[in-house]
Amino acid sequence: MGSISEPKYDSNHHSITHVLFDMDGLLLDTERLYTDVQESILASYGKSFDWSLKAKMMGKKALEAAKIFVNETGLDDVLTPEEFIEKREMMLHSLFPESEILPGVERLIRHFHTHQIPMAVATSSHKYHYELKTMKHKEIFSFMHHVVVGDDTEVKHGKPAPDIFLVAASRFKVAPVSSKNILVFEDAPNGVAAARTAGMSVVMVPDPNLDRSLCMGADQILGSLLDFKPSDWGLPEFSH
Ligand SMILES: O=P(O)(O)OC[C@@H](O)CO
Ligand SMILES: [Mg+2]
């Protein structure tokens, strides 16, 4: 799929010096795992899962997403958010270590690393899940200056609050001059809102099932990270 939207970057735009990556659904193909498992939990109650519910849950911390799940599906009288998380956990635990990296991720991370552009991860995933999901991808994640996880004590409010991106920005050894110098990569509407509230620019790579009206907050929308053109953002172009 080609580039879907033109970036809002122009010569007056602040130069990008630092990059923050979301993880689930952006670097790793893990949102698919959440979707499959949640679909199967709902099926066991004779209900079906849809993408408007998925869009509300994506990018949120586990308990917040679980509350949305039981309320919106009307299961709140038979399933508590904590019970839902426990059921989901039993199914996800064996799937996470097999998480795959998404197209374009490796090329992009190696490119930024080569050009010494500091990168970090800001994921709503808890530390324990981060470790499981990245087991097969240690080298790629080692290029990150740091990783901020959803259960980090400094992250008071989950996405769409800006906390996680502001905390991630504050932990670079050489700090960005301003949030405006940071480019965020996200797949979820909640994550895009968080980054925009933090004053950062956002490239969104949404799942094709996501309603396009929920993607309007992003500065640029791509079909995949393979479509990312660093020069759109004043960054060095790929060498091949
Ligand atoms: O912030 P990310 O990495 O997308 O994590 C969200 C995930 O825990 C569920 O949607
Ligand atoms: Mg995500």
Residue 5 belongs to a domain: no
Residue 220 belongs to a domain: yes
Last residue within a domain, chosen from 78, 97, 116: 97
Per-residue model confidence (pLDDT) at position 7: 64
> Looking at residues 176-189, what average pLDDT do you find?
97
> Looking at residues 68-96, what average pLDDT do you find?
96
> Looking at residues 230-240, what average pLDDT do you find?
93
Atom of ligand 1 nearest to the CA of 129: 8
Burial 13-22 (b: 16+ CB within 10 A, else e): ebebbbbbbb
Distance CA 238, CA 224 (A): 16
- Token output for 151: 């259960």
Q: How confident is the model at residue 9 (pLDDT cuts 50, 70, 90)?
A: low
Residue 150 belongs to a domain: yes
Co-location of 155 and 51 in the same domain: no
Co-location of 36 and 117 in the same domain: no
CA-nearest residue for atom 6, ligand 1, is 59
Co-location of 25 and 35 in the same domain: no
Last residue within a domain, chosen from 74, 97, 120: 97
22 an active-site residue?
Answer: yes
| Structural domain count of the chain | 2
Give me the residues near ligand 2 (ion), CB cutoff below 5 Å: 22, 24-25, 59, 187-188
**Which of the following is catalytic: 10, 22, 207, 219?**
22
Domain carrying residue 45: 31-97
**Tens-digit pLDDT profile for residues 166-175:** 999 999 999 9
Co-location of 113 and 173 in the same domain: yes
CATH code (residue 188): 3.40.50.1000
CA-nearest of 9, 58, 12, 61 to 183 is 9
The pLDDT of residue 36 is above 70: yes
φ/ψ (deg, to 5) at 222: -120, 155
Q: How confident is the model at residue 1 (pLDDT cuts 50, 70, 90)?
A: very low
3-state secondary structure of 108: helix
Co-location of 109 and 214 in the same domain: yes
> Looking at residues 98-121, what average pLDDT do you find?
98
Residue 240 belongs to a domain: no
Co-location of 151 and 175 in the same domain: yes
Q: Within a 10 A sphere around the Cβ of 216, how many other Cβ atoms?
A: 11
The complex scores an ipTM of: 0.94
The Å distance, Cα 127 to ligand 1 centre, comes to 12
Residue 238 belongs to a domain: no
